[in-house]
């Protein structure tokens, strides 16, 4: 669709384009065509902060969307407000980060970093914590896109220390409407370098969960990257790999311990999601299951369908890992029963319990 067609598509039937809209259309065409000379001629005749003229976003947002740092510089020098939000509350800073680029487009990537620099160095500086209609911030989209250089810029504190807006720290734990944090966005899209930077240089919350109850470590387990799971498990404090609403009830009496599973089935339980190892087993991620087993994850927990991890693992993951799960569960039973009774339990009794538990 041409520039003119895209502008006309915003108009209602029999509605005429005003002179202001025509100028805005011409400016947009200059940006797309790289016509800086004509752009400089038209720019002084336009109110750069008028968002009421269609399209309902500022000229600065349009320049950021086109990904041309030269035009961004010219508009900022005309006094453009870097914090004006469009009809869906996107700022120029957010528009920079939503430009579609791939890894081969190094020129565009450099242009994107340059534009973010210009917006942060401007006086007034771009506000870093403004959210769009989806609740996304500039940091959220930078993490989602894997833009490590921009993540560093947004989290830096010495780029423009004389500006009041710039001195407001970037909220690394601010979530969008779905409850996803910047760290969650980086994990969801597999950006290892961004994850590593957030864990090492910020106080990001590794236990933050979405509205659906999905934690960062759970999402990592469903994506299948053992490197990212290992990064999260090495963090201090370590994320809870056993997080679930269903827990094992411990009874002092050995007789009740033997019937714990049937007790859980009869008890009314709230809706729950699977644990990390259940998710990894269900997705057939053997390496992640091994990592979680090495960190002593709980194997006896049941999900909302009353299945344990072995139910999820059967016919899906390596039989060697299933045997490792059984051995871990067997060891756990021995330790638990012994601690509850303060005496050694006959091995044949343990074998009966272990067989029943499987």
Q: What is the pLDDT of residues 224-250, one digit of tens each?
A: 999 999 999 999 889 999 987 333 333
Residues 207, 215: contact at Cβ < 8 Å?
Answer: yes
Q: What pLDDT does residue 118 have?
A: 94
Q: What pLDDT does residue 249 have?
A: 37
Q: Tell me: domain 246-358, CATH 1.25.40, correct?
A: yes
One CATH from 3.50.50.60, 1.25.40.20, 2.60.120.560, 3.40.50.850 for 1-170: 1.25.40.20
Residues 194, 150: contact at Cβ < 8 Å?
Answer: no
Instruction: Please count the helices (runs of H) and the strands (runs of E) in the chain.
Output: 21, 0
Q: What is the pLDDT of residues 98-150, one digit of tens each?
A: 986 544 455 556 789 999 999 999 988 999 999 999 999 999 999 999 999 99
Phi–psi pair at 124, nearest 5 degrees: -75, 150
Among 319, 290, 295, 310, CA closest to 354: 310
**In angstroms, what CA-CA distances link 129 with 89, 91, 123?**
12, 10, 17
C-beta atoms surrounding 162 within 10 Å: 8
Chain-wide mean pLDDT for the chain? 81
3-class DSSP state of 209 = strand
Residue with the larger pLDDT of the pair 165 and 339: 165
pLDDT exceeds cutoff 60 at 11: no
**In angstroms, what CA-CA distances link 172 with 64, 125, 197, 208, 246?**
23, 18, 12, 11, 30
179-240 against 246-358: fold identical = yes
Q: What pLDDT does residue 15 have?
A: 58
Query: What CATH superfamily classification does 179-240 receive?
Result: Ankyrin repeat-containing domain (1.25.40.20)
pLDDT exceeds cutoff 70 at 160: yes
Residue-by-residue DSSP string for 251-293: -SSHHHHHTHHHHHHHS-----PPPHHHHHHHTT-HHHHHHHH
Q: What pLDDT does residue 189 have?
A: 97
Mean pLDDT, residues 250-277 taken together: 51
Q: What pLDDT does residue 241 have?
A: 93
Q: What is the pLDDT of residues 53-104, one digit of tens each?
A: 777 788 999 999 888 899 999 999 999 999 999 889 999 999 999 986 544 4
Mean pLDDT, residues 300-325 taken together: 82
Q: What residue segments make up the domains of the chain, in order of their start? A: 1-170, 179-240, 246-358
């Amino acid at each position: 669709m041409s520039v003119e067609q895209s502008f006309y598509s915003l108009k209602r039937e029999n509605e005429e384009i005003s002179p202001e809209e025509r100028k805005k259309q011409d400016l947009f065409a200059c940006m797309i065509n790289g016509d800086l000379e004509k752009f400089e001629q038209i720019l002084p005749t336009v109110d750069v902060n008028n968002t009421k003229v269609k399209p309902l976003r500022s000229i600065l947002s349009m320049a950021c969307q086109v990904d041309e740092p030269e035009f961004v510089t010219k508009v900022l020098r005309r006094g453009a407000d870097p914090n004006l939000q469009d009809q869906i509350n996107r700022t120029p800073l957010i528009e920079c980060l939503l430009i579609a680029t791939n890894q081969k487009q190094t020129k565009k990537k450099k242009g994107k970093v340059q534009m973010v620099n210009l917006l942060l160095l401007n006086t007034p500086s771009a506000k870093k914590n403004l959210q769009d209609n989806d609740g996304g911030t500039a940091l959220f989209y930078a993490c989602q896109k894997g833009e490590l250089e921009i993540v560093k810029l947004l989290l830096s504190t010495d780029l423009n220390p004389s500006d009041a807006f710039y001195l407001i720290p970037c909220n690394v734990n601010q979530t969008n409407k779905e409850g996803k944090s910047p760290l969650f966005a980086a994990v969801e899209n597999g950006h290892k370098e961004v994850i590593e930077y957030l864990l090492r240089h910020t106080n990001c919350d590794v236990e933050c969960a979405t509205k659906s109850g999905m934690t960062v470590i759970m999402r990592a387990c469903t994506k299948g990257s053992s490197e990212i799971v290992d990064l999260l498990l090495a963090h201090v404090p370590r994320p809870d790999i056993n997080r679930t609403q269903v827990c094992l009830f411990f009874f002092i009496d050995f007789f009740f311990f033997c019937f714990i599973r049937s007790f859980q089935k009869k008890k009314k339980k709230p809706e729950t999601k699977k644990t990390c190892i259940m998710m990894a087993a269900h997705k057939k991620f053997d390496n992640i299951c091994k990592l979680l087993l090495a960190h002593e994850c709980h194997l006896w927990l049941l999900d909302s369908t009353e299945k344990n991890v072995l139910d999820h693992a059967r016919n899906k993951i390596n039989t060697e890992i299933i045997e490792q799960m059984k051995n871990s569960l067997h060891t756990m039973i021995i330790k638990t029963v012994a601690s509850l009774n303060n005496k050694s339990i006959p091995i044949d009794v343990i074998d009966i319990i272990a067989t029943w538990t499987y």
